[in-house]
Amino acid sequence: MISIPLFIAFWTAGVFFKEGTCAVQISRPLRLSKIVGFSWENCGKADDPAVMKSLTLSPDPINIPGDLTASASGTTSLALVSPLSVNVTLEKEVAGYWVKVPCVDELGSCHYQDICDILNQLIPPGQDCPEPLHTYGLPCHCPFKAGDYSLPQTVFSLPKTELPFWLTNGQYRVQGVLGNLGKELGCLKVSLSLHSG
């Protein structure tokens, strides 16, 4: 089964793969061509129940479009039930300073009230979980039982991806804090560099 720490990892990484729209037109759309220097760390308290144990992505750089090989494992010491909030903070390095990117069209530094509801919208209850979750018997709906979760090494095909006009080349870091009714359950920080072509 997959744990919420894994969800946070793919959620924060997925910030860069979500297609955005904006009212500002640019002469040529920016296409994400590669991700360089992906790294991660747990950023929560020592007693947080949800913890990422491992996360590997290869190759480096990750070419887009192209194949990405990923594996991950995590654990939670208690059941994770609705409402499960995720507070995402996206920052970009500008002239040696980290600048917070605001939430625009649900992309950027956004607060998501209940990812259980979002999961139900993306994958209607009763429908099989998408691959590779289905193959490995990993759940994709709340509640997530207490226990250890892992995704074996799996290859994903990454499609061409357009970037919003404000998501330009540079170094980014994303932090996702998982919570329930005001209590922090886990925290994951991801760093990477984006290159468009």
Here the CATH number for the domain that contains residue 164 is: 2.70.220.10
> How many angstroms separate the CA atoms of 151 and 135, rounded?
10
- What's the distance, CA 186 to chain centroid? 14
Look up tokens 């991660």; give the residue.
Answer: 40
Q: What is the pTM of this model?
A: 0.83
User: Which among 26, 54, 61, 23 has a CA at the least distance from the CA of 40?
Assistant: 54
Domain extent for 47: 4-196
Say yes or no to pLDDT of 111 above 70. Answer: yes
Contact 169, 32 (CB under 8 A): no
User: Which among 194, 195, 176, 191 has a CA at the least distance from the CA of 39?
Assistant: 191
Domain count, the chain: 1
User: Which among 168, 171, 15 has a CA at the least distance from the CA of 88?
Assistant: 15
pLDDT in tens, 130-170: 888 888 888 889 999 999 999 999 998 988 888 777 777 89
Q: What share of the chain has pLDDT > 70, as a percent?
A: 83
Indicate the pLDDT class of residue 81, thresholds 50, 70 and 90.
Answer: very high
pLDDT, the chain, mean: 84
> How many angstroms separate the CA atoms of 12 and 66, rounded?
19
